[in-house]
Chain A
C-alpha cells in the first residue's frame, strides 16, 4: 500500500507521448491493495500500455465487477470513465456500453472469483458474442476481500493458508475462451511486465473479444508453501511460448529480429504483432492446436504463458448487429424519431373500418 501521494508537479523534460500526455496522466488514485499485490503490477502495466499506444485516456471506458481486482480501475486511468458494477456481471454492463458507443476502447477488469465463479455465465456469453473488448482477469485463485476462500480457478490439491486442500477441479478461463470464440487469448504473469505490457497492447489494438488471464499472486492469502498461485510456484512452472512486440502502423520496425524465429501478425488496424517464438512448432493462429497444447502442458503441471491464440481478421458484435458507423449514443432526435406523419400512416393501417 502506498500512503504518499506523488507530487503533481512534473519536470519540464517529462516525456510525452504522441498525443501529448505524460505517463502520469494515465495513473489513477492511490491503490488500497496490500503491499506487493500482483494486481498493482497489472495496473502499472495497463498505464504503460496505454501511454505507449498513445491512447487518449478519455477514449477508454474501464469496467469491473466486485473484488480486489475489480477495485483496481480506480487506481489507473483516472481521466477515464469507470464503472465498478456488481459481482460477476461486468461483462453484460461492458457489452451494453460497447453497443452504445463503438468508438471507445473497453477495458474489463475482473478476478477469478468474479469471472470463473459467480460470473462464469456472463464471461462465457460476452466471449461468444464477440464483444470488442480487452478483458483482463487478475487471477490469484483466492477470494482476497473475504479473506482467503478458494475460487473456481484454484488448482485441485492446492493448499489454502489455513491448510485446507482444494478438491474441486479448476476452471481454466483461457481454455474456455478459446472454445467460446475469443479471438485474442493470452496468459501472463503479473511479475513479468516485459511479457505482460506488449500482450495488453496487442489486446487493445485487437478487434473482437481479447482475454488476458494474468496469474497474479495474492501476497496475503495465496503466497505460501502448497499454493499453486504463489510467486515462486508460478516462476518455476511458467512455460512461455512466445514474446510479443506490438508495432504501431506509424512506427518503423527498427529492432533486429533473427529470421526464422519470428512471426508477424498484422491486425485489422494495421498494427503488427511481432511474435518471437520460444517454441518452434507453436502456431498461435491454430485454435484447435492451441487447445490441445494447453491440455498437454497443463497435464504435466506447466502454466503456458504468452499469446496463445490470435485471429487477426476477427469480426465483432457491431459487425454482427450491422449497426451504423455513428455511435448509437450520438444519434439525435431526427435520426431516431419517425415523427407524426409515420404515426398517422400506422394508425390508418390499424383501423378496422377503412
Chain B
C-alpha cells in the first residue's frame, strides 16, 4: 500500500457512490453532498439510475469543485463501492492513486483489487449488526455510517453534518437519534482504522454564496405556479413525472383557498399523452393557463394535437424533459434529441416556439414566461429541459420574481371591445405582427363567438378552402413566428480574451460544461467566442454571431446535430461553417470532451495565429 502514489487534492475531486437502488442510499448520498456545500464548497452531484425500482445498480457521482465548475467531469478519485454486482467495473473506473472505500465484512481475494489504488475497508455490515437489532435499520444505517466515515476521511466538518441530520428530521426525534448514532459510529470507526484525513480533503470556502440547491423539475413545477397555470393534464413518464409532483405540492401550499380549503388549480392524470395535450388545448381555448409535462415518447404521441393548437392558434405549454431516444431509448439517461420533433411537430407546415433552460433557475424563469409567450403568440411553447438538469439537484442562482409583473394574456377581445364595435376577425392580422385577436368563450351574449377548427378558414373563422384564404393564413402564421424571434429569451454571448474567427454555439444543460471548456481553451490560448441559444425561432443575433465567425462549433447532446440542422435550415447558413461537436452516450457532456474536440479541430486547421486578421 505504501508504494501507491496516492492522489492529493483539496476541493477538487470526484467521488462516486456505487449502490443498489431501493436500499436508502439516495438520501445519505445527498446528505453528503449538502454537507460539503454547507462548508461553502460547490458540488455538482448526479444520479445515474436504472429504469427500475429495486435491486438494480445505481450510482451517485459527486463532483467537488472549489472553483465552482458544475458540469460533469468524468473520472473518479474515490469510489464508495457498496454494490458487489458492479464491483469490478467500479474498481476499474478509479483513477490511479485513487481511494476505494468498501464494506470489508466479507473477505475478497486480492485479485479483485488493484495495486495502484488506496484500499480503505471498513466492516460496515458487521458494525451495523452490532449496533442495531432491527433488519431494516441495519440496511439503512449502513448508508449514514459511510457518510460518517467519509466525514473523517475527507476532513469534513462533523458538526455541520450533524446539523444537517437534525434539520432534515426535525420533529422526528427517534430518527435523529439513530441517524446521529450511525454517523458518529462511522466517523469514529474510520478515525480508528485509518490515518485520517486521506489525500482528498474538503476545506471550508465561500464559493457557494446565496445559491440554492434544487432540481430542474421542481423548478419547472414552481415556474408553472408563478406563471399562473391553473390546469395541468399529464401522463406519467420518466424523467418528467416530478414536474407534476412539484406543481401539485406547490399548489397545495400556495393555491389552496385559506377559507374553505378548495383548490385554485386542477390536476388531471390522463389515460395517455394524447388526452393530456387535448385537455391542455381545451383548457387554454377556454381561457385558463394550462400545461403538460412529458418526454420524448409523449411528444411523439401528441403530434396531431400540436398541429391543431398551431393551426387553430390555441396557447399550450409543454415541459419536455428530454431523455435518450429514439423509441423507448434510454429512459433514465440524458439527451437533447427532441429539438426537431418539437420544432416542426405535426404534419403540414408547422413551426413551434422552443425555450432552452440551462439550469433550474431558468427552468423556473422560462417555465413562468412560457405561459405569457403561449398566450401572446397563441401557439404551443415547449420548455426543453432534460434529465440532467431535470432530475439532478443543481446549484443555481436563487429564484426571483418582480411583484409588479402582470401576466400577459395577449390579444384577447373583451365584452367592452365587442360592444364598442371593434372589428373582430379571429384570424385577421390587424397590426402586422401576425397575431390575431381571440375571444374567450362566453365573453359576450351575442358577439364574438366563433367556431375553432383545424380545417382551413378565412380571416373571420368561416370554413374556406379558397386558395387565397389559405395562403393569407399561412403567411400570417409565418409572420407570427417571426414576431416570436424577438419575444423568446435572447442569446447570451461570452467573448474570448482575444478577437477570434472561431465561435461555438450551445444550449440547455451543456452550459456548465461549456463554461469550463471555454476556460480550458483560453488556458491553451485557443480563443473561441461562445453563444448560448435560449430560444427558437432564432433571434437575429444568432445569425449575426455565425456571420461574425469563419467557423462555428455547434455543441449538442444528440447524434444528429439537431440544433445545427435548425440553424442551417432556418438561417440559411452554409453547413460547412458549422462544425458538429456531439456527445450522445446518455451521460452528461463534459468540459474535457468539448475542449478536446474543439482543440483538435483547431489544430487540424493548423491555424496560427488564432487571432482574427485585422484588415490594414
Contacts and interface: CB of A to CB of B under 8 A. Distances in A.
Interface of A: 56-59, 61, 63, 73-74, 78-86, 89, 91-101, 103-104, 121-122, 124-125, 129, 317, 321-325, 328-329, 331, 333, 335-340, 342-343, 346-347, 350-354
Contacts of A63: 282
Nearest to A88: B274
Given A96-B278, A340-B401, A86 B288 contact: no
B308 A85 contact: yes
A336 B40 contact: no
A122 B403 contact: no
Contacts of B308: 85-86
A121 B449 contact: no
B271 A100 contact: no
29 contacts: A57-B449, A63-B282, A80-B441, A80-B449, A81-B449, A82-B451, A82-B452, A84-B451, A91-B275, A92-B233, A93-B278, A93-B282, A99-B288, A100-B283, A100-B290, A122-B275, A322-B261, A324-B257, A328-B231, A328-B264, A329-B283, A329-B440, A336-B228, A336-B230, A338-B226, A343-B400, A352-B34, A352-B37, A352-B213
A171 B74 CA distance: 57
A66 to B, nearest CB: 8
B228 A333 contact: yes
A89 B281 CA distance: 11
Contacts of A354: 38, 163, 167
A326 to B, nearest CB: 8
Interface in B3-46: 34, 37-40
Interface SS of chain A: helix
A99 B264 CA distance: 11
B265 interface: yes
Contacts of A125: 270-271, 275
A94 B285 CA distance: 10
Interface in B292-317: 304-305, 308, 312
B401 A339 contact: yes
A99 B34 contact: no
B451 A58 contact: no
A346 B399 CA distance: 9
Contact of B283 (A97, A333, A340): A97
Contact of B304 (A57, A84, A86, A339): A86
A57 B214 CA distance: 49
Interface in B259-295: 260-268, 270-272, 274-288, 290
Contacts of A347: 210, 212, 398-399
Contacts of A86: 278, 304-305, 308, 454
Given A121-B272, A324-B264, A353-B40, A94 B282 contact: yes
Nearest to A83: B452
Contact of B442 (A83, A96, A104, A350): A104
A321 B304 CA distance: 28
B195 interface: no
Given A336-B264, A343-B399, 11 more contacts: A58-B443, A83-B451, A89-B274, A89-B304, A96-B280, A99-B268, A101-B441, A122-B278, A329-B230, A331-B264, A337-B225
Contacts of B264: 323-324, 328, 331, 335-336
A56 B263 CA distance: 28
Nearest to B364: A343
A58 B286 contact: no
B263 A321 contact: yes
Nearest 6 Cβ contacts at the A-B interface: A96-B282, A92-B278, A96-B279, A100-B288, A81-B441, A352-B37
A58 B440 CA distance: 11
Contact of B451 (A59, A73, A91): A73
Contacts of B453: 83-84
B418 to A, nearest CB: 11
B407 interface: yes
Contacts of B280: 96
B326 interface: no
B208 interface: yes
Given A84-B455, A93-B278, A350-B214, A79 B271 contact: no
B255 A336 contact: yes
Contacts of A83: 282, 285, 312, 451-453
B609 interface: no
A166 to B, nearest CB: 27
B283 A96 contact: yes
Contacts of A335: 264
Contacts of B411: none
Contact of B450 (A81, A322, A337): A81
Interface in B456-486: 463
Nearest to A349: B212
A120 B329 CA distance: 29
A133 to B, nearest CB: 11
